[in-house]
Amino acid sequence: MTADGPTPADAAAPSGAAPSAGRRPGRVANGFGRYLCKHVAGAAVSLLLVLFSSFFIFRLIAGDPIDQLTKERPVSPEERAALRAELGLDRPMWEQFWDYIIGTLTMDLGDSFQYRRPIFDLIVERLPATILLSGTGMVLAVLLGFWIGTRTGWRQGSRYDRGHVAAGLLLYSAPTFWLGMIVILVFARYLGIFPVNGMRSPSTPPQFWPQALDIAHHLVLPVLTYTAVVYAGYLMIMRSSILDEIGSDYLTTARAKGLRDDQVRDRHAVPNALLPTVTLVFLAIGGIVNGSIVTEAVFSWPGLGSLFVQAVFYPDRPVLQALFVLFSASTILAVLAAEILYWFIDPRIRKS
Amino acid sequence: MTLLEFRDVHVTYTGSRGRIPAVRGVDLTVEAGTTLGIAGESGCGKSTLAMAVLRLLPKTAEVTGEILLDGEDLLAMGWGRLRAVRWTGASIVFQGAMHSLNAVQRIGRQVAEPMLVHDKGLSAAAAAKRAEGLLERVGLPASRARSYPHELSGGQRQRVMIAMALACDPDLIIADEATTALDVMVQAQVLQLISGLVSERGVGLVMISHDLSVLSSVCDTAAVMYAGRVVEQGPAREVFAQARHPYSAALGAAFPVIGDPASRRNPGGLAGDPPDPARLPEGCSFRPRCAVAVERCGEAAPELLHIGGARSSACFVAQEGEPVVIG
């Protein structure tokens, strides 16, 4: 390795060394500019690909929307043609494509077939419910997973470790809809301490606090289900990240200093082990928007996930198209944010 | 006053290959205010011995015997007492300062940490102040306290390790290959710093290295280890100038003598490899590589015995007063 004697950093550290000090900030900014451009360009390309493919995928798989919209109703060919014209489906494909691209880029997502309302409004109405459910669940899952993962990794092979890994993986591999139904059966039906589904009861007084408590009451079971299914992923990542640190020399140093075992773990091992999990946390944040489709469906939670499921069954092509783009975009942007953050927390990226 | 005493210390690792003895019966003492050098090639058990002092070895290592620090047996004490003794009674300057520092914590905080752990009454600000003072003592600007390890050079990091070892005013400092990774100029500075501390503060120092020139310039007494045992012991200058064990002689010959072109062009090597600790040879473990071995060497392992003056040797040939070097 490098190591000995004065490095360039030494030379720059004392007050002197004016020429290098003058050049440095510019070079760093340039490096960051190039790094940023590279990753923003990459994200933009991904977004465009998503935009293009969502237009074609749903035209390929959903069949003729007029058939879907008019099923079980006798309609004349004239009525069909009128409907086609109303939805703009009679225009050439390239024109529809162009409208779709421009519309999406200007936040005009078109109307839903099912609701006959602007999709943008539907999304805005339902987004808070989804963020409430997945956001709460995701935060709990990350905290719980990291907390247990740290402890299982620290005592690899112990009964605690084996028990938690087995339980976590069992829940991880359980189908969400099945676990959701079990949870509803036990807590809502037999014990009767939580509502079966929905986000609020109609009988609740309209004031802020009763409403907030009512929503929280409805939130418990979906969040419980969601957290139970995903926390094991974070547990395993944190566990292996801790295992990578165990045996490191700096932990021996910490022990030699007279720190207790938990101090060695929390002050030294955990901060080092958290570094590689940053991407994961950002992916989780990106996944908040689309993370709970099945959970929302099971608990009739009025969020984007339920909207998506309804749109699949209808099938409501413009809604599917818009949600597909939204879900993909949130993940792509979260990854981009993680990459930008790495520039600041990991000095090795700056050097390369 | 005897500060540190090893009494018949054995360390045995248990692994997939069975029980492997790394240290096999070591008796050594360190007086306060003096320096003991431990020499030997990689794998001879010298670092294991150092780590055994503060019980930092992995769980797979079994340590027996007694290690007395100020008369108190470190191997017998409870965990609470041991934690209190760690860093206040004895501290370690670890080898490879590259990885021995926490990469995501500022230098100052790492140096101050043991002070705060051992002195509950100390405020964080006072500890930080003292940490800066220690950095200045080892020749680093106090502003370095705000740096992260990767912002320092290897030599600077090693000095941080020394500053850290001084944090709690220990009675004993163990320097495990503390200067090995440094270039000669920095090495000289660090050595000067360390030996200055011994004379100034009366601490005991155990210096572990395979570099005899380092040991002979700093140490009062020296012990040479081979295959988990001390094979020769005595005043450092005498041991390295006139070895009384064929292994120490070979170790010394492997370094060229400055100003002697003949030795520079032809450093004496030692054929063969150190023995596999899982399968030690019968009798003296050095016999397969030894140029002066006699028949007796294959029958029994020689004990470390006094051979006159302050010298001891674990070699039958030396014990009979014969020369251990041919030619």
For A63-117, what is each residue's pLDDT tens digit? Answer: 777 777 777 777 788 888 888 888 778 888 888 888 888 888 888 888 888 888 8
Q: What is the Cα–Cα distance from B118 to B110, expressed in whole angstroms?
A: 14
State the residue for tokens 């390369």: A352
pLDDT at A23 over 50: no
Rounded to whole angstroms, what are the CA distances from B213 to B47, B191, B222, B242?
Answer: 19, 11, 12, 14
A348 Cβ contact list (under 8 Å, min separation 6): none
Model pLDDT, residue B268: 62
pLDDT bin (cut points 50, 70, 90) of residue A26 is very low
Cβ of A268 within 8 Å of Cβ of B105? The answer is yes
What does the pLDDT look like over A293-313, one tens digit per residue?
889 999 999 999 999 999 888
Model pLDDT, residue B312: 93
| DSSP string computed for A156-209 | TTSHHHHHHHHHHHHHHHS-HHHHHHHHIIIIIIIS--S-SSSS--TTS-SSHH
Residue of B nearest to A258 (CA): B83
Domain's final residue, options B256, B274, B292:
B274
**B172 with B249, same domain?**
yes
Residue B233 domain-assigned? Answer: yes
pLDDT at B200 over 80: yes
| Set of chain B residues whose Cβ sits within 8 Å of the Cβ of A3 | 98, 153-155, 181-182
**B117 with B85, same domain?**
no
Model pLDDT, residue B97: 63
* CATH architecture for residues A27-62+109-351: Orthogonal Bundle (1.10)
**B215 with B155, same domain?**
no
**B130 with B269, same domain?**
no
Cβ of B105 within 8 Å of Cβ of A255? The answer is no
| DSSP string computed for A249-261 | HHHHHHHHTT--H
Residue B281 domain-assigned? Answer: no
According to DSSP, the β-strands at B35-39 and B204-208 are parallel
More confident call, A124 vs A6 = A124
How confident is the model over A320-342, as a mean pLDDT?
89
The number of residues in chain B equals 327
- Give me the domain span that covers residue B256: 2-89+168-274
Tell me the residues of chain A between 1 and 40 that have a Cβ less than 8 Å away from chain B. Answer: 1-7, 9-10, 13-14
pLDDT at A228 over 60: yes
User: Given phi > 0 = left and psi -120 to 50 = alpha, else beta, which region is A51?
Assistant: alpha
pLDDT at B225 over 90: yes
Model pLDDT, residue A21: 38
Tokens of A36: 């940023």
**B172 with B160, same domain?**
no
**B110 with B138, same domain?**
yes
**B150 with B206, same domain?**
no
More confident call, A292 vs A301 = A301
Residue B74 domain-assigned? Answer: yes
| Set of chain B residues whose Cβ sits within 8 Å of the Cβ of A263 | 117
Residue B67 domain-assigned? Answer: yes
| Mean pLDDT computed over every residue of chain A | 84
Residue B280 domain-assigned? Answer: no
Nearest to A250 among B99, B183, B186 (CB): B99
CA pseudo-torsion sign B284, B286, B288, B291? negative
State the residue for tokens 């008796």: B27
Tell me the residues of chain A between 270 and 299 that have a Cβ less than 8 Å away from chain B. Answer: 271-272, 275
**B6 with B61, same domain?**
yes
pLDDT at A314 over 90: no
| Set of chain B residues whose Cβ sits within 8 Å of the Cβ of A249 | 94, 96, 99-100
Least confident of A178-182, B60-64, B137-141: B137-141
3-state secondary structure of B119: coil
| Set of chain A residues whose Cβ sits within 8 Å of the Cβ of B51 | 252
Which residues of chain B approach chain A closer than 8 Å at the C-beta? 51, 54, 56, 83-88, 91-92, 94, 96, 98-105, 113-114, 117-118, 141, 143-144, 148, 150-156, 164, 181-183, 185-186
Tokens of A268: 């030294």
Packed helices A317-345 and A278-287: angle between N→C axes, nearest 10 degrees: 160
Q: What is the Cα–Cα distance from B76 to B87, expressed in whole angstroms?
A: 18
Nearest to A4 among B101, B143, B182 (CB): B182
How confident is the model over B203-220, as a mean pLDDT?
87
Cβ of A253 within 8 Å of Cβ of B94? The answer is yes
The candidate with the shortest Cα–Cα distance to B179, out of B197, B166, B161, is: B161
**B134 with B185, same domain?**
no
Domain's final residue, options B138, B167, B196:
B167
**B227 with B256, same domain?**
yes
Least confident of A11-20, A259-268, B153-162, B166-175: A11-20
Nearest to B153 among A10, A249, A256 (CB): A10
Model pLDDT, residue A11: 36
Strand partners, B6: B28, B67
A215 Cβ contact list (under 8 Å, min separation 6): A132, A199, A200
More confident call, B185 vs B57 = B57
Domain's final residue, options B152, B167, B182:
B167
| Set of chain A residues whose Cβ sits within 8 Å of the Cβ of B170 | none
Residue A193, Cβ density class (10 Å: 0-12 exposed, 13-18 middle, ≥19 buried): exposed
Residue B247 domain-assigned? Answer: yes
Residue B207 domain-assigned? Answer: yes
Residue of A nearest to B153 (CA): A3
What does the pLDDT look like over A118-156, one tens digit per residue?
999 999 999 999 999 999 999 999 999 999 999 999 999
pLDDT at A44 over 50: yes
Q: What is the pTM of this model?
A: 0.80
pLDDT at B284 over 70: yes
pLDDT bin (cut points 50, 70, 90) of residue B262 is low
Residue B327 domain-assigned? Answer: no
Residue A111 DSSP code: B
| Set of chain B residues whose Cβ sits within 8 Å of the Cβ of A13 | 141, 143-144
Q: What is the Cα–Cα distance from A38 to A42, expressed in whole angstroms?
A: 6
Q: What is the CATH number of the domain that holds B266?
A: 3.40.50.300
Tokens of B126: 């006072």
Neighbours of B109 (CB within 10 A): 17
Which of B88, B94, B102, B158 would best serve as a mutation to test chain A binding (most A beta carbons within 10 A)?
Answer: B102
How confident is the model over A274-284, as a mean pLDDT?
82
**B81 with B112, same domain?**
no
**B263 with B184, same domain?**
yes
Total domains present in chain B? 2
Residue A330: phi and psi, rounded to 5, are -65, -40
Strand partners, B208: B38, B176
Model pLDDT, residue B257: 60
Model pLDDT, residue B269: 66
Q: What is the Cα–Cα distance from B206 to B2, expressed in whole angstroms?
A: 13
Which ranges of B40-90 does DSSP label H, i.e. alpha helix?
46-53, 79-85
Q: What is the Cα–Cα distance from B313 to B319, expressed in whole angstroms?
A: 7
